């Protein structure tokens, strides 16, 4: 059996969130040690906690909610590209890599993953790169950064270009120990009817 690599952030109260967003909180509505027959947890957290899909409604009031997303984008061939050392990921990051219709593109930007600490800086995608990926009909773009746009962006150009081109967005991956190359990606969003985005359990399967 091919090796399955978990590329999801662990989710719990220690998981870092975007500054000002809802931290993850775990409460217990039933506990066996309090006399109940089962343990039942209740979660309060942002839809952007840990590894997550940014749904179209995140930046577009007319965009689809997670329950309406086509699942085909989140399962299939993927290529992991090493983009470490870049201030911003430009279109030349694709040089020498076969990227076309049907191949999901993932970017590793950091040396190590620290899910309990929000990064002071991260490499975002340039709008030009977003346009190239949309033009090549890439189903999904993923990054180990918390956003495909810069931290201080108000226009969210990469989000809008990718979303407008039908490219799904996957953020906060854990790719520090994964070698560049070809994989199969599985990263299904929850069937949330009212949210803008959704946490996922993302895995790569070695081809």
Active site residue 58: yes
* 3-state SS class at 129: helix
> Burial level of 76, CB count in 10 A (0-12/13-18/19+)?
middle
- Show the CA angle centred on residue 61, arms to residues 129 and 91, nearest 5°: 0
d(CA 89, CA 123): 7
Strands 181-186 and 203-206: antiparallel
* 3-state SS class at 205: strand
d(CA 75, CA 73): 6
Q: Within 10 Å of residue 151's Cβ, how many Cβ atoms?
A: 15
Q: Where are the beta strands (DSSP E) in 10-85?
A: 25-30, 40-44, 52-54, 75-82
Catalytic center residues: 58
């Amino acid at each position: 059996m091919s090796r399955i690599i978990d590329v999801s952030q662990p989710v719990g109260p220690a998981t870092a969130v975007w500054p000002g967003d809802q931290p993850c909180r775990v409460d217990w509505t039933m506990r066996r040690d309090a006399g109940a027959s089962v343990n039942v947890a209740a979660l309060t957290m942002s839809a952007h906690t840990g590894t997550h899909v940014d749904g179209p409604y995140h930046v577009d009031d007319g965009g689809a909610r997670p329950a309406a997303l086509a699942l085909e984008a989140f399962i299939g061939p993927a290529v992991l590209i090493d983009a470490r050392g870049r201030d911003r990921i430009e279109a030349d990051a694709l040089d020498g890599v076969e990227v076309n219709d049907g191949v999901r593109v993932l970017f590793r930007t950091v040396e190590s993953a620290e899910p309990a600490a929000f990064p002071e800086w991260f490499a975002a995608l340039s709008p030009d790169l977003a346009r190239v990926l949309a033009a090549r009909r890439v189903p999904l773009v993923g990054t180990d950064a918390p956003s495909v746009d810069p931290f201080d962006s108000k226009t969210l150009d990469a989000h809008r270009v990718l979303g407008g081109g039908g490219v799904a967005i996957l953020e906060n991956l854990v790719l520090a120990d994964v070698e560049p190359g070809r994989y199969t990606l599985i990263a299904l969003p929850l069937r949330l009817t009212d949210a803008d985005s959704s946490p996922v359990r993302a895995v790569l399967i070695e081809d």
